[in-house]
Amino acid sequence: MKEQTPVTRAEHTSVTPTDDKPTDEPAAAHVRLDAPSSTLRPVDGAPDGVIELRDLEVFYGDFRAVKDVTMGFGSKEITALIGPSGCGKSTVLRCLNRMNDLVPGARVQGRVAYHGVDIYEPEVDVIEVRRRIGMVFQKPNPFPKSIFDNVAYGPRVTGMKTDNMDEVVERALRGAALWDEVKDKLKQNAFGLSGGQQQRLCIARAIATSPEVILMDEPCSALDPIATAKIEDLMVELAATYTIIIVTHNMQQAARVSQRTGFFTAEADDMGHRTGRLVEFATTEHIFGNPTDSRTEAYITGRFG
Amino acid sequence: MTTRHRTTGGLSETGGHPAAWQGPEIDLTPQRSRVGEKIIRAGLMGSALLSVVVTAGIVLSLLTPLISFFSNVGVGEFLFGTEWTAAFGDKFTWDDKSWGVLPLVVATFMVTAIALVVAVPLGLGAAIYLSEYASERARKVLKPVLELLAGIPTVVYGFLALTIITPILGAFFEFNSIYTALSPGIVMGFMIVPTIASLSEDAMSAVPLALRQGSYALGANRMKTTLRVVFPAALSGIVAAIVLGISRAVGETMIVTIAAGSKAHLTFDPREGAQTMTGFIAQIASGDAPQGSPVYYSLFAVGALLFVITLVINMISIRLVRKYRQAY
Ligand SMILES: Nc1ncnc2c1ncn2[C@@H]1O[C@H](COP(=O)(O)OP(=O)(O)OP(=O)(O)O)[C@@H](O)[C@H]1O
Ligand SMILES: [Mg+2]
């Protein structure tokens, strides 16, 4: 069992490479856990760390996809993960509810603590983890079942004790702002819905198991601007109840909905291996207003990636 | 709105409408003859037509002897009669024989049902294992082995039934001869396991990974994901696989000829020997059935009935496949 020290985190965490490869950063700038900048303003309801990552490192076979990820996700906050393609955002996100278990050869090192419990400990029940930490995918993936059965699926398979499934389904669909559009066709196949409706159905499906955290991997990338706006509004609404972690390529979206943003990038080392890492993690305001790291600035201003 | 200017030709936008084309003239008429395409098209149409022609040919060749048969035997007597003694008595008289095909039909379906009882659970179990549980390496080894099973000549299965399975079953059941419907039924089940397993596995593997991930992300385990998401999503292909298995069982000849015996009698007891439709056809066609004799004509009647039954099964299959097809 690894040591149980909680992740120390201040308002601003800048993680720069710890190995001795040349960067454009001063050599002394190793891991800094204190806010170096007076321009930072504390956010109301600073994260109390529903999920905390410490030195997370993920391998796919021999390939190290990400390393050195240390960050925390605040309760009832929206945290956005941004960065260029292939930098490991999805990889990190999948670690949070152990979806990486399904990838043959995937290996996770470091600590992923959910309320202080390392979810990769052998005695942890992955089903319990996934029930509490739900996930919405990039492409809407409703099951080929009725709308009702889609929403009822999670409660059914996890053996949730429910007196009245109708109520559970209605509450979830209302929560996902879909109820009014589908209340008359709950028995119809979910494939008949539009893409945006399908994605909200997937959100309803996720919240039907009453999770605490919802992970979203580019949930709007297959949607048109109107459907995207609806999902964004919904995310903001959901953040009153749930902790949300979203991966997005849409910078405006990250800026609009999130309170905190982590910027990842992957840089090739001497051997040509590209390993993703967390470059900067701070309030969204800080990341988009006055980023500390030059790479963050280059990325958000569109000069990179 | 930005206005683009080009030096040669090009569009110049005025008031939102492109002006008339001013560049060099272009020719959109065919530049090459498309003979090759036409030949290919004709060839493809030819192959499509050929299958129709062959089917029609089969129907027509059955027709003349069929007419001879049914001018001597009533359709009702044939379809609903419970006694079949076509091979008995004088070779050239119609009247001393019973022409009720039901014993053959019942035997056919009994053997098929036994085969399905064996093949559906085994086949689907194998498919689920291969598609959802087996490691990539195990799948790479097992699937070809399974498909190899489908290539074993049916005469081998027939001998397996008669010389191994029947004696083994004899230890548990009271058989009154070495011919039973049970033994070839079971062996036939093993024979169609690869068909059902392989096609069902294809159908299940074709279910998008995203659906499985969605299920796992909701806290479902592998069994629930398989049974509640993958299986229903693949149902169309699984139904098609089972129906193909049924067609093969109904049409299977060698195993029943060897191990089910040649006694045509109406029975629902799988411990007894029972001649199937295919068994009868094989027996008569390989024995002496003088052309123009009643038993010769009866071959065509039984063959035609078999044809109709297979056709109906396939039509039901197409219906079911359509009904359960999912567009992901
Ligand atoms: N299942 C896998 N097997 C092997 N390598 C993988 C797998 N999934 C991801 N990778 C690799 O890990 C690295 C990080 O991938 P990941 O999908 O996490 O990136 P991402 O930041 O989400 O990219 P994108 O923005 O394009 O979705 C990439 O180099 C990728 O090729
Ligand atoms: Mg991704």
Confidence category of residue A12, pLDDT binned at 50, 70, 90: very low
Q: How confident is the model over B291-308, as a mean pLDDT?
A: 90
* Average model confidence (pLDDT) across chain A: 82
List, in sequence order, every beta strand (DSSP E) within A100-227: 106-114, 117-118, 133-136, 213-217
pLDDT for A22: 39
Rounded Cα gap, residues B296 and A304, in angstroms: 84
Residues near A147 by Cβ (< 8 Å), separated by ≥ 6?
A: A173, A182, A185, A186, A187, A188, A189, A190, A193, A201
pLDDT confidence of B35, banded at 50, 70, 90? confident
Confidence of residue A193 (pLDDT cuts 50, 70, 90): very high
Q: Which residue has a Cα nearest atom 18 of ligand 1?
A: A88
pLDDT of residue B203 exceeding 80, the answer is yes
Contact (CB<8Å) A135/B210: no
A137/B211 CB distance under 8 A: no
Q: Which atom of ligand 1 is nearest to the CA of A94?
A: 18
Give the pLDDT mean for B202-215: 93
Cβ A67 under 6 angstroms from ligand 1:
no
pLDDT interval class at A5 (50, 70, 90): very low
**pLDDT score recorded for residue A271:** 77
Contact A157 B327 (CB under 8 A): no
- How would residue B157 be classed by pLDDT, with cut points 50, 70 and 90? very high
The residue type at A117 = V
The pLDDT of B19-42, averaged and rounded, is 83
Q: Which residues lie at CB < 5 A from ion ligand 2? A: A 90
Instruction: Give the nearest partner residue to B326 out of A127, A137, A144, using CB atoms.
Output: A144
Share of chain B above pLDDT 70, in %: 94
Phi, psi values for residue A15, rounded to 5°: -105, 115
Mean pLDDT of chain B: 88
Q: Domain boundaries in chain B?
A: 103-261+303-324
Tokens read off for A145: 């079942």
What pLDDT, on the 0 to 100 scale, is given for residue A162?
82
Q: Does the beta-carbon distance from A158 to B211 stay under 8 Å? A: no
* Residue recorded with tokens 């439709």: B277
Asked if B214 and A141 come within 8 Å (Cβ–Cβ), the reply is yes
CATH class of B103-261+303-324: mainly alpha
> Model-level pTM greater than 0.80?
no
Tell me the average pLDDT across B150-163.
91
Tell me the best of A57, A64, A87 to mutate to test the pocket of ligand 1, counting ligand atoms within 8 Å of each CB and taking the most: A87
* Gap from B193 CA to chain A (nearest CA, Å): 27
Residue among B218, B223, B238 with most chain A CBs within 10 A, to mutate = B218
Contact residues for B133 (Cβ-Cβ < 8 A; gap 6+): B222
A83 alpha carbon, closest ligand: 1
Comparing A225-239, B8-22, B47-61, B215-229, the range with the smallest average pLDDT is: B8-22
For B182, phi then psi, to 5°, come to -65, -50
With a 6 A CB cut-off, is A90 part of the ligand 1 pocket? yes
Walk me through the domains of chain A, giving residue ranges and CATH numbers: 2-8+36-300 (3.40.50.300)
Element (H, E) at B17: strand B17-18
Q: Given an 8 Å threshold on Cβ–Cβ distance, is B219 in contact with A128?
A: yes
- Rounded to an integer, what distance in angstroms lies between the CA atom of residue A186 and that of residue B92? 68
Beta strands in A201-251 (DSSP E): 213-217, 243-247
Residue B7 is predicted with a pLDDT of 47
Atom of ligand 1 nearest to the CA of A58: 12
Q: Which residue has the higher pLDDT, B17 or B109?
A: B109
Confidence of residue B327 (pLDDT cuts 50, 70, 90): low
Q: Which of A62, A91, A246 has most ligand 1 atoms within 8 Å of its beta carbon, as the pocket-test mutant?
A: A91
pLDDT attached to residue A14 = 39
pLDDT at position A132, please? 92
With CA atoms as reference, report the closest residue to B273 among B180, B157, B196. B180
**Confidence bin at B326 (pLDDT 50/70/90):** low
Of the partner residues B212, B213, B232, the one whose CB lies closest to the CB of residue A144: B232
Across residues A286-298, what is the average pLDDT?
89
User: What pLDDT is recorded for position A305?
Assistant: 46
Q: For the segment A213-227, what is each residue's pLDDT rounded down to a tens digit?
A: 999 999 998 888 888
The shortest CB-CB distance from A139 to any of B210, B216, B219 is to B210
Cβ contacts of B157-164, under 8 Å, gap ≥ 24: B157/B187, B157/B188, B157/B190, B157/B191, B157/B254, B157/B255, B158/B184, B158/B187, B158/B254, B158/B255, B158/B256, B158/B257, B158/B258, B158/B259, B159/B258, B160/B187, B161/B186, B161/B187, B161/B255, B161/B258, B161/B259, B162/B258, B162/B259
Ligand 1 centre to CA of A91 (Å) is 6
Q: Chains A and B: how many Cβ contacts under 8 Å?
A: 69
> pLDDT tens for residues B130-156?
999 998 899 899 988 888 888 899 999
Residue A94, ligand 1, Cβ within 6 A? no
Q: Which residue has the higher pLDDT, A111 or B10?
A: A111
Query: What pLDDT is attached to residue A303?
Result: 66
Q: Which bin fits B207, alpha (ψ -120 to 50), beta or left (φ > 0)? A: beta
pLDDT tens-digit series, residues A132-191? 999 999 999 999 999 999 999 999 998 888 888 999 999 999 988 899 999 999 999 999
Question: DSSP code of B300?
Answer: H
pLDDT digits (tens, 9 = 90+) for A25-76: 333 332 222 333 322 333 333 345 789 999 999 999 999 999 989 999 988 9
Nearest CA owner, ligand 1 atom 30: A86
The residue nearest atom 28 of ligand 1, judged by CA position, is A86
Would you call A58 helix, strand, or coil by DSSP? strand
- Within 10 A of B129 (CB to CB), how many other CB atoms are there? 16
Q: CA of A130 to nearest chain B CA: how many angstroms apart?
A: 5
